[in-house]
Structure 1
Amino acid sequence: MIKKRSTILIILFIFTTIAYFYNQIGPYDKKSIDEVIVKIPKGSSVYEVADILFENHLIKSKLFFVNLSRITNKDKNIKAGTYKIPQYFSNKEILELLNSGKIYKDFIIVTIPEGFELKQIAQRLEQQGLVDKNKFIDLANDVDNFKREFDFLNEEGITSLEGYLFPDTYYLEKTFSEEAIIRLMLRRFSEVYNKEIRQRQKELGLSLNELITLSSIIEREAKLDNERALISAVFHNRMKIDMPLQSCATVQYVIGERKAILSNSDIQIDSPYNTYKNKGLPPGPIASPGEASIKAALYPADVDYLYFVAKKDGSHSFATNYNDHLKNRRENLGR
């Protein structure tokens, strides 16, 4: 009886071990249709390749991948290059692809920096031969065309995709249309616009349009990460007491030029985006904010600052009253 039980346990152990092995070398997600673009540098060892694949959610176990590559003699023939690998590929299929050298060439890497305006995004994509700038801008101004797929665009006040084309590095196929690229950027925004952000936004009583508008102003004003929350606090504090935001970035958006110093005529320009003449937030975003600026808009620093002035090194001097602000201006601007 004891011998029979031991035999059963051994058989169960063997079957469990085999099942575990095949699970570990199987697809990372067999139900996923996502494809991941990875770059294998020249001279990479099989261990380095395993690290890259694991970090990109393409394999479940680095150890099992390395061992399988050695058992099948595929560890010495991995070819450098950029590959497009589906998440439903097993370890065996990935090794076959990496040994084949069938690299993925038909894409262009484009980085959209935080703080880029819609027209700047369109310009950069056109320079890469990916879009017609005017067509891209026209499509981005037709919000209704994207509302069915992206429900957040149905919120009140959103009349353009300015601010919602998320800044990031994109791998774009040359065959992508203007609309496909816009959808990709909106999809990236929807990933960032998560439950935590929505909940905090609700707590502050902000609409999505107000949140992204404020975030875009913070993005344009802040040069240093550690000052985003401070700049956010200045704007929150001003709005609480019905004081104009007086953001140079909003005027620069109107005049279409990022001037270092605005003239008196600039700040008197007649536009709802001119926060020197109008109280509260402008009608919409002035650029695409990154996640850090969105978080800063949601979590302003607990300070009483009402003013800030830029210093030559890109940082800012902050003040709680106008007299101290004037002093900071004289020290930093000489006027």
Structure 2
Amino acid sequence: MSNKNHKNYIQEKLKEKHTEAKIVRRIVFTVFVVLMLALTGIIGGGYFFIKNAIQPVNEEDTSIESVEIPIGSSTTMIGQILEDHGIIKSGKIFRYYVKFKNESGFQAGEYELSPSMKLDDIIGHLKQGRVQQDVVFQITIPEGRQLEQIAEILEKRIGVSKDEFMEKANDKSYLSSLIEKFPKVITEEILNEDIKYALEGYLFPATYPFYVANPTIEEIIEVMLQKTSEILEDDELRIAMANKEFTPHKLLTMASLIEAEATVQTDREMIASVFYNRIDVGMPLQTDPTVLYALGEHKERTLYEDLAVDSPYNTYRNQGLPPGPIANAGVSSIQAALEPADTEYYYFLATPEGEVLFNETLEGHNHDKNEHITNQDNS
């Protein structure tokens, strides 16, 4: 090939590469533009959807609708009620909007609302509230209480029969109706035959106002379950539950163990870490409160003979979690169950002074036990 032909050949090849590169750049640019337009469309569509959803349903419709917000309603329930009555366009958007604006303190009552109202005005009405009746009485359910103890509080406070309360709380027909009413919190897991009391751990510790002098047992139970539902339906908490592959039942069970072992000075996240570390290596949890729950007794000390009790709740004889919660748990214990500390501890000991000592080894644990428990007994 002559030099001239070789030169022409090279020029042709360079021209082809230049043309190919130009085509590739054009394709890349076109794809980029299409993707950006699609993304802009999605963002813009979402923006206009949300913007439209928070606008009045119909600015020209000034008709008045009577809307009742029941006691104990969560923002999810309130949004659905308002949507069902045609006062807002979307209950789901209402829920997210309220969370974004950090609004709370909605009150039960009967409201006169209109489809022409702006969302912020509706929220303002719900916060001011027009409760039809004043609070007749309040009941405080402390953290760490078992179902029988809650029944005793109710009997002492408002005269509700403990036996009747326990009977209703364990009635299978009633429990089935609760599963239908609170499907995101209560499942058929509570019907496990190994479970002592189906609603154990599900009645959230809080102060409950009542607006009638003699509420029914069903009303009392469902107000408390609604509070549990409100706590467990928190978006961040649900994400954490999904990450740990926890059902509400499993979460409340673990949280109840943490609650039962905790003291005022205790770091609940540390106790949680011990339980998870034990589960990870196949060790039994060996937590005394489960033994006492199995025995149905309240003792200052668990004896060695107690550890032999034949019960699915006995975590000395059975590995893993017990079949259900052993008491109610507060928010701090629920959060600890989802976000335990990162430790290498496998043992902890609560001293008579209320301090909790953690150890990585059985040797260290026994040393603390001899120093703080055995010496105390011998003094």
* Offset from partner CA, 1:161-208 (integer Å, 9 cap, x none): 111111100112322100111010000000000222222112112222
Are residue 245 (structure 1) and residue 285 (structure 2) matched?
yes
Please identify, of 141-150 and 283-292, the stretch whose mean Cα deviation from structure 2 is larger: 141-150
CA contact (8 A) 1:140 1:162 kept: no
CA distance in 2, matches of 1:55, 1:157: 32
2:352 is aligned to: 312
* Cα displacement (A) at 1:261: 1.4
CA contact (8 A) 1:34 1:87 kept: no
1:188 is aligned to: 227
Aligned AA (1:278): N
1:213 is aligned to: 253
Are residue 149 (structure 1) and residue 181 (structure 2) matched?
yes
| Number of equivalent positions | 259
* Offset from partner CA, 1:55-98 (integer Å, 9 cap, x none): 8457xxxxxxxxxxxxxxxxxxxxxxxxx976769999x99x9x
Matched residue SS, 2:209:
strand
Are residue 174 (structure 1) and residue 213 (structure 2) matched?
yes
Q: Percent identity?
A: 37
Aligned AA (2:231): V
- Classify 1:322/1:140 alpha carbon distance in 2 versus 1 (closer, same or farther; 3 Å): same
Q: Pick from 134, 138, 154: which aligns with 1:104?
A: 134
Matched residue SS, 1:277:
coil
CA contact (8 A) 1:222 1:228 kept: yes
Aligned AA (2:348): F
CA contact (8 A) 1:35 1:87 kept: no
CA distance in 1, matches of 2:242, 2:104: 34
Matched residue SS, 1:301:
coil
1:265 is aligned to: 305
Are residue 114 (structure 1) and residue 150 (structure 2) matched?
no
CA contact (8 A) 2:204 2:328 kept: yes
* Cα displacement (A) at 1:157: 2.0
* Offset from partner CA, 1:140-174 (integer Å, 9 cap, x none): 22321311110035535222111111110011232
Aligned AA (2:226): R
* Structure showing the higher helix proportion among its residues: 2
2:169 is aligned to: 140
The structure whose Rg is larger is 2
CA distance in 2, matches of 1:126, 1:183: 17
Q: TM-score, normalised by structure 1?
A: 0.70
- Classify 1:104/1:317 alpha carbon distance in 2 versus 1 (closer, same or farther; 3 Å): same
Are residue 163 (structure 1) and residue 206 (structure 2) matched?
no
* Offset from partner CA, 1:24-44 (integer Å, 9 cap, x none): xxxxxx9663579xxxxxxxx
CA contact (8 A) 2:186 2:248 kept: no
Aligned AA (1:227): D
Aligned AA (2:243): E
Are residue 277 (structure 1) and residue 307 (structure 2) matched?
no
Are residue 325 (structure 1) and residue 365 (structure 2) matched?
yes
Please identify, of 217-226 and 178-187, the stretch whose mean Cα deviation from structure 2 is larger: 217-226
Are residue 128 (structure 1) and residue 131 (structure 2) matched?
no
Matched residue SS, 2:358:
strand
Aligned AA (1:184): V
CA contact (8 A) 1:33 1:86 kept: yes
* Cα displacement (A) at 1:311: 1.2
Show structure 1 runs of 5+ residues with no match: 1-29, 37-53, 59-83
1:33 is aligned to: 69
CA distance in 2, matches of 1:212, 1:284: 8
Please identify, of 238-247 and 190-199, the stretch whose mean Cα deviation from structure 2 is larger: 190-199
Q: TM-score, normalised by structure 2?
A: 0.62
